[in-house]
């Protein structure tokens, strides 16, 4: 995992990013055992698992993000997944909550095999958001003008599709795919809530000085729609087992 731009907005990340769905945490709880939560951030998934009694160690490359996770009661070590020295420790479950896409897949597959006990599992978790057509149209006009390089995560795309076994580095590396599940929810986000969460995503953070004017116009577009948008969230869980 390389250097990510989240540390400077760690408090905002912790405040505005959603916790994992309860039924997803139910499934992780049933897996049991010791957990390494890779790229744990401020501890959203780690806290949810620890509250169910799982023994969770967080691994996070950014000290500022890790400090917040530690403040939530999570034991965290600093490092990237590719280079971290585990000191011979192994785990029953590796979780990647919106973090697998930051890992070098070739190195990550080898590291996962090294860090898991026989029969251990990898759980990759990621979120997809979909807005209703009127909101997509309004926001697309803003993004095409101010940040055309961003692929909006509220529009379905192949990048957010479930993992396909024939194109999965873990499967190619000898892991057995178990299943992919999805968990759906929906709710309304105010203009303030929408821009606050969007501004914590890596593709927005990389805009630098262009972020503030973009978020101002996104906010205005949502206000023109009535002050809020309905957001449909799908959370995916892809499980694979070490043979």
For residues 146-166, average pLDDT = 67
Contacts of 70 (CB under 8 A, 6+ apart): 76
Q: What is the CATH number of the domain that holds 45?
A: 3.40.50.150
Counting residues of the chain whose pLDDT is more than 70, the rounded percentage is 92
In a domain, 1, yes or no: no
- pLDDT of residue 158 exceeding 50, the answer is no
Q: Residue 243 has what pLDDT?
A: 84
Q: Is residue 174 one of the residues assigned to a domain?
A: yes
For residues 3 and 211, the model is more confident at 211
In a domain, 112, yes or no: yes
Question: Does position 165 have pLDDT exceeding 80, yes or no?
Answer: no
Specify burial of residue 110 (Cβ count, 10 A radius: 0-12, 13-18, 19+): middle
pLDDT for res 150 = 87
pLDDT of residue 11: 96
Percent of the chain with pLDDT over 90: 79
Tell me, yes or no, whether 40 lies in a domain. Answer: yes
Q: What is the model's pLDDT at position 2?
A: 44
Mean pLDDT of 31-37: 95
Is position 2 within any domain?
A: no
With bands split at pLDDT 50, 70 and 90, how would you rate the model's confidence at 156?
A: low
pLDDT tens per residue, range 167-216: 788 988 899 998 889 999 999 999 999 999 999 998 899 999 999 999 99
Mean pLDDT of the chain: 91
> 17 is in which domain, residue-wise?
7-242
Cα 54 from chain centre: 20
Residue scoring higher pLDDT (182 or 163): 182
Backbone φ and ψ of 138, nearest 5°:
-65, -45
DSSP-based three-state secondary structure for 163: coil
Residue 62 lies in a domain: yes
Give the model's confidence band at 105: pLDDT under 50 very low, under 70 low, under 90 confident, else very high: confident
CA distance 7 to 109: 26
Inside any domain, residue 28: yes
| pLDDT reported for residue 167 | 78
Q: Which of 231, 100, 73, 86 is nearest to 154 (CA)?
A: 231
Is residue 33 scored above 80 in pLDDT?
Answer: yes
Average pLDDT in the 8-20 region?
95
Q: Per the confidence metrics, is the pTM higher than 0.85?
A: yes
pLDDT digits (tens, 9 = 90+) for 114-134: 999 999 999 999 988 899 999
165, part of any domain: yes
Q: How many domains is the chain built from? A: 1
Could you give the CA distance from residue 112 to residue 92 in angstroms, rounded to a whole number? 11
The two tokens of residue 28 are: 């992780």
């Amino acid at each position: 995992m390389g250097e990510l731009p989240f540390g400077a907005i760690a408090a905002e990340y912790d405040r505005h990013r959603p916790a994992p769905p309860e039924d997803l945490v139910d499934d992780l709880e049933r897996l049991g055992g010791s957990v390494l939560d890779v790229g744990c951030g401020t501890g959203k998934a780690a806290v949810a698992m620890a509250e169910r009694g799982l023994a969770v160690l967080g691994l996070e490359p950014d000290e500022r993000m890790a400090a917040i996770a530690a403040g939530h009661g999570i034991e965290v070590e600093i490092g990237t997944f590719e280079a971290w020295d585990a000191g011979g420790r192994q785990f029953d479950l590796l979780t990647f909550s919106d973090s697998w896409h930051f890992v070098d897949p070739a190195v990550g597959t080898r590291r996962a095999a090294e860090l898991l006990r026989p029969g251990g599992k990898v759980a990759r978790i990621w979120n997809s958001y979909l807005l209703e057509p009127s909101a997509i149209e309004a926001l697309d006009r803003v993004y095409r003008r101010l940040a055309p390089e961003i692929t909006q995560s509220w529009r379905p795309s192949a990048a957010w599709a479930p993992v396909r076994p024939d194109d999965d580095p873990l499967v190619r590396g000898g892991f057995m795919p178990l299943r992919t599940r999805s968990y759906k929810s929906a709710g309304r986000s105010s203009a303030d809530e929408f821009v606050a969460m969007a501004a914590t995503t890596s593709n927005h953070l990389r805009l630098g000085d262009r972020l503030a004017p973009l978020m101002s116009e996104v906010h205005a577009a949502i206000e023109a729609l009535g002050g809020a948008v309905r957001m449909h969230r799908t959370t995916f869980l892809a499980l694979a087992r070490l043979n």
